[in-house]
Amino acid sequence: MAGRSRDVTDEIRHRVSILEVVSPHVTLRRAGRSYKGLCPFHSEKTPSFSVDPERGVFYCFGCHAGGDVFDFVMRIGGLAFSEARRDLAERAGVRLEESPDAEQRAGERERLLRAAAEAAAFFRVQLAEDGGRRAREYLASREVAQTVIETFAIGCAPAGWDHLLRALRVRGFDAAALEQAGLAVPRQGGDGHYDAFRDRVIFPIHDLQGRPIGFGGRALDDAVPKYLNSRETPLFAKGKVLYALDIARAAIRESGEAVVVEGYMDAVSCHQFGVHAAVASLGTALTLDQVLLLKRFASRAVLVYDADAAGADAAVRGLGLFDQAELPVRVAVLPGGTDPDSFLHTRGPAAFTELLEQALPIFDYRLAIAMEHHDRRTVEGKVGIVHEMSQLITIALNHVRQAEYVRILAERLGVREDAIRDELRRLGHRQETRRPQAATSTPVPVARGRAAAEELLLHLLVADATLRASVRDAVVPEMFRAPGHRELAEALLAPGASTDDVGRLRERLREEAAVSLLSRFLIAEPPVKGDPHKVAGGCVQKIKLSDLEERIAQLMEAHGDAVRARDDARRDRLAVELLEAGNEKERLRELKVSV
């Protein structure tokens, strides 16, 4: 990438482990020389994302994202290279020489992150000031421990219209920037701005790197809504974030199970009472993006929602998403009139742990709800139960799980399995129109013909240093046509190029397709066995034959034009060229090429 300082990037790359950078975003498991996990750049259900720590590269076989540690930070954070370098330099302890106005030139996302961080610090200070008295009293009434307040960086937005605006203005943030960060709201008529959060307890929402990206505010008066989330911003998308995941992910990885609650206080109380794998859905209905995010760290989950009707409905809505994501989930049923926060304070952590252990599997919970709605002793009741269960059954992507659901339902209702299947088929078309679609990965396209030969030849050149040394006369970059192929060939065949120095090789590439190919070829073994020189020779032969076939087709078309135009001289000249090209093609076919 143009503009990279080699000395700085090499030093950063030497000091920073790509595993340490990627791990906060993906649960990785060793698979031979590499590590595998669910891709953080697209929604998927089976791992296609690989990291090679020895070579310092990553690659996703689903969405084709690839590159080095700088590419990962740029992609995961939506950053420019200069911003990613600053991020990694700080992590590595490498000093960057920057001009005095470098901060002013920082990208939009970095400015928004700084604004959010300054706002979080302001809210923290306000909690300890005179204006935070009511917020402190509220937190005391909810028995929130001071250590937990500090862990979650809970703060307070004071009453008044522009306290945050005035405080951050002196820090260099104007109202327009704060509006973009979701911290300020324009007044009606366009006459100035006011603070988005006023007279509220503030719960900062962090990304996986622990940086504030949004806020939740609990009203200290009768303001509506009682809980207010930051609006959508370039930093914050409510349906793609889980509260406390940055704090909970270590415990989730250790236990393999995540505890999903609904609100901020529920998550805070869980952590205060030792349930460190708890995350919250920001007080709103779960989304598929949130479930897929959770799956990157958890192999199973427990839903713990309020015991009221709204909580039960939220749990039911979320069940299908877990099934779509193929993340096993159970539902913990709370006693009436309680939520996780009140249950923990009144019954204690031991009772809560017991409740989690007794959580019902997804199907059993949904069936229990359906049987409360219908009398299974009657024909109409059985039909109603089948109808309520039909969506959960039909959206099950795993056929074994779907068959087991039908078996259990038939056994509980005393109905034949084929009768339930017939009814599900009858309902199927109507439900298919409502079925939410999971985001899927695009499989790696299978290259064919000439493109396949180019790709295989490049893969062999990446994998075998002796081959690169021997092909310099037979292989030139101009042979390659497919996107990214020629640039990668130029980098590989350049004097002094070596896959032992992946960083320097990466520096030669500008096209994303070339970076992706290099990453894939470094991680995956070439899909061939035998003598690589003979295989490479076959690739060269196929590429040259492809060129000749194209040349022959062009000559034949031109010859036909000359015949129709009665241009005898041109016709005869093209006939000679056609004969020569045909002879060359036959000669090339008969050769046993090795490079």
What CATH number corresponds to the domain at position 79? 3.90.580.10
Residue 440 lies in a domain: no
Residue 571, classified by CB atoms within 10 Å of its CB into exposed (0-12), middle (13-18) or buried (19+), is: middle
CATH of the domain at 183: 3.90.980.10
The reply to whether 546 and 529 lie within a common domain is: yes
pLDDT of residue 483: 77
If asked whether residues 78 and 179 sit together in one domain, one would say: no
Same domain for 128 and 78: no
The domain of 572 spans 449-590
The torsion angles phi and psi of 301, rounded to 5 degrees, stand at -145, 160
Do both 421 and 537 map to the same domain?
Answer: no
- What is the pLDDT at residue 311? 58
Residues 70 and 142 in one domain: no
Residue 344 CA to residue 272 CA, distance in Å, equals 9
Query: Per the omega criterion (within 30 degrees of 0), is the bond before 225 cis?
Result: yes
Give the pLDDT means over successive 10-residue stretches in the chain (595 positions): 59 91 92 92 88 94 93 83 84 72 59 93 95 95 96 96 94 92 89 93 93 95 90 90 94 93 94 97 84 90 75 66 85 86 95 94 85 90 90 77 90 91 76 42 53 91 86 84 88 82 86 92 86 87 88 90 90 90 83 58
pLDDT of 338 reads: 87
Cα(295)–Cα(288) distance, integer angstroms? 10
* CA atoms 423, 426, 432, 438: torsion sign: positive
Last residue of a domain, one of 335, 365, 395: 365
Task: Compute and round to an integer the Cα radius of gyration of the chain.
Answer: 31
350 plus 257 within the same structural domain: yes
Per DSSP, the residues of 110-127 read HHHHHHHHHHHHHHHHHH
Pairing label, strands 200-206, 212-219: antiparallel
* 87 lies in some domain: yes
Number of folded domains that form the chain: 5
